[in-house]
Structure 1
Amino acid sequence: MAVITFANTKGGAGKTTAVLLLATELERKGYRVTILDADPQYWIHRWFEASRGRTTINVISYVTMTSLQRHVEEARSRSDFVLIDLPGARSPLLAKSVGFSDHVMIPIQGCAMDAQGGAHVIELLQYLEEKGNIFIPFSVVLTRVNSMVTTRAMQVVKTLLAERRVHVLDTPIIERSAFRDIFDCGGTLYSADPGRVSNLAKARENASAFANEVIESLETRVRFQIPTPGAAVSIRTAA
């Protein structure tokens, strides 16, 4: 069982979209998934309500500092993956959630403000490693990327991350209307109507590539042994 926290202290970074795409792709592969919705906007909760039983994903809403540990412990017993969606702001939940995590995913848009929000998370993780000898692997995923244009701001962000030797996923999350539509309509990219959702095939391809790379990152950076869906999971943090 793996706990993956999604964090950026700036709102609007594409964090919740990344959570939902990974969760639904893992579900499609047959894994048991629980999402802990700690974001006060409760977009995951709203998606779950709109889905009306079209998903096997377990969503726990209104997660607080007091309830987080209990929810994580309960989810560990029944899930292959536990995904935590944190508030898009500075919050005490960040440090507490990181403490339960096997991996931290940091979504960043190609702009300086998003990069700064992501930097707050990275600085915390680096502080834990340097001062407490606590190593928690983390990765950055670039979000809301224009499929046609690579902006100067995006290049600045990539350069900044490379200089800090931060692991960045090769697969960015492209800005697609299909990703917004599943929040409005519920369900997944695979239950959506291709006749009503534009570029659905490309959205599915992007989501699948993103999920596959996250799993590969867990295998290589956390020594995560991918189980048969529904079976026990073994994790050992890399030295």
Structure 2
Amino acid sequence: MTKKIAICNLKGGTGKTTTSILLATALADKGHSVVVYDADPQGSASAWAECAEETQPLPFTVAAANMRTMKGAAREDYVLIDCPPGYPQIIDAAIDAADFVLVPTGHSSLDADRVWSILETLRDMQAGQDHSLGGAVLMTAANPRTVSYREMDTAMREEGFTVAPVVIPQREAIKHMVGTRPEGDLHGYRELADYITAALS
């Protein structure tokens, strides 16, 4: 049965597309069939796939999506929905279609201010879902040794939000993967794939 994972945050620049592509790569490398639905009008995931085609194609399909196609049936094991920032209707539709919601976020004070609204939306929709809707916050470009990281982590846990046990570090190597077929060390995304597949099993 297909499992759908919505990757969303109302704020831009939190690593949604990078998370979509690297998580999809990790899942595909484990033998799963995967499609990434590019629901962002800017088409960042689609552009990544097009660039990769010039050297080594991605091991999964990237397809443009809208609120209708996100809810449709799929043949793949996993559907990852790369959501845009600033489009609440698209984000709500993605969450409504999903079995698991991943919220990538940094841990600066601006990130902290912006992440609460999407987390409250997620909590409200979890309460109203007929099926079990899992979800977790994913710390990206993170430095666990900083005060801001510890404060963000503590605040989210105190509010009852699940924080993924995988931290995505700030690495230039991740930036260099954009537009390529990611290989080798995926800097936490393989472990994230294990965590999500276990949560959805």
Q: TM-score, normalised by structure 2?
A: 0.89
Asked whether the 8 Å contact 1:18–1:173 carries over to 2, the reply is no
Asked whether the 8 Å contact 2:70–2:93 carries over to 1, the reply is no
The within-5 A match list for 1:120-159 is 120-130=117-127, 132=128, 134=130, 135-146=132-143, 150-159=145-154
Q: Provide the rounded CA distance (Å) in 1 between the counterparts of 2:175 and 2:146.
A: 22
Asked whether the 8 Å contact 1:7–1:118 carries over to 2, the reply is no
**Aligned-residue offset at 1:168:** 0.7
Q: Provide the rounded CA distance (Å) in 1 between the counterparts of 2:188 and 2:76.
A: 24
Q: Which residue of 1 aligns with 2:101?
A: 104
Percent identity over paired residues: 26
- 1:216 aligned to 2:198? yes
Q: Which residue of 1 aligns with 2:6?
A: 5
The within-5 A match list for 1:1-239 is 1-52=2-53, 54-61=57-64, 63-64=65-66, 68-74=67-73, 76=74, 78-130=75-127, 132=128, 134=130, 135-146=132-143, 150-184=145-179, 186-190=180-184, 203-204=185-186, 206-218=188-200, 224=201
3-state SS in 2 of match to 1:39: coil
Q: Alpha-carbon deviations, 1:130-150, whole Å to 9, x = none? A: 4x365522111110113xx62
Q: Provide the rounded CA distance (Å) in 1 between the counterparts of 2:94 and 2:188.
A: 27
Instruction: Figure out how many residues of one structure are paired with residues of the other and give that number.
Output: 197
Q: TM-score, normalised by structure 1?
A: 0.75
Q: Alpha-carbon deviations, 1:18-61, whole Å to 9, x = none? A: 11111000111111111011123322111100111522311112
3-state SS in 1 of match to 2:177: helix
Greater gyration radius: 1
**Aligned-residue offset at 1:129:** 4.2
Q: Which residue of 2 aligns with 1:232?
A: none
Q: Which sections of structure 1, spanning at least 5 residues, go unmatched?
A: 191-202, 219-223, 225-239
Asked whether the 8 Å contact 1:182–1:188 carries over to 2, the reply is yes
3-state SS in 2 of match to 1:30: coil
Q: Which sections of structure 2, spanning at least 5 residues, go unmatched?
A: none
Q: Provide the rounded CA distance (Å) in 2 between the counterparts of 1:33 and 1:215.
A: 13
Q: Provide the rounded CA distance (Å) in 2 between the counterparts of 1:209 and 1:133.
A: 28
Q: Provide the rounded CA distance (Å) in 1 between the counterparts of 2:126 and 2:174.
A: 35
Q: Provide the rounded CA distance (Å) in 1 between the counterparts of 2:76 and 2:100.
A: 16
Q: Provide the rounded CA distance (Å) in 2 between the counterparts of 1:205 and 1:107.
A: 15
